[in-house]
């Protein structure tokens, strides 16, 4: 025998939300493998508008650190 599915209406969901074609756990495996998301503080995010600019700045800082460590 199959168990009856109990549908509980979430008060935060609007009636026009339709998850009937949703796939449960679609990104679960990818998430388990690890994520590399870092949250920037608001003041830092204003300086770096996208991932490309953050990466460029960190690469430049990395070069400065390497040069400093080689001299020490």
- The answer to whether 40 touches 48, Cβ cutoff 8 Å, is yes
Residue 28 host element (H or E): helix 28-33
pTM of the model: 0.49
Tell whether 66 is covered by a domain: yes
Which domain range does residue 44 map to? 40-71
Tell whether 49 is covered by a domain: yes
Tell whether 23 is covered by a domain: no
User: How large is the average pLDDT for residues 31-56?
Assistant: 90
Tell whether 29 is covered by a domain: no
Number of domains in the chain: 1
Tell whether 54 is covered by a domain: yes
Alpha carbon of residue 14 to chain centroid = 25
In this prediction, residue 45 carries a pLDDT of: 94
Tell whether 55 is covered by a domain: yes
Tell whether 31 is covered by a domain: no
Confidence of residue 1 (pLDDT cuts 50, 70, 90): low
């Amino acid at each position: 025998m199959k168990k009856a599915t109990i549908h509980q209406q979430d008060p935060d969901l609007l009636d026009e939300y339709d998850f009937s074609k949703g796939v449960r756990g679609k990104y679960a495996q990818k998430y388990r493998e690890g994520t590399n998301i870092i949250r920037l503080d608001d003041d830092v995010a204003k300086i770096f508008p996208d991932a490309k600019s953050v990466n460029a700045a960190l690469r430049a800082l990395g070069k400065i650190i390497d040069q400093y460590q080689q001299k020490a």
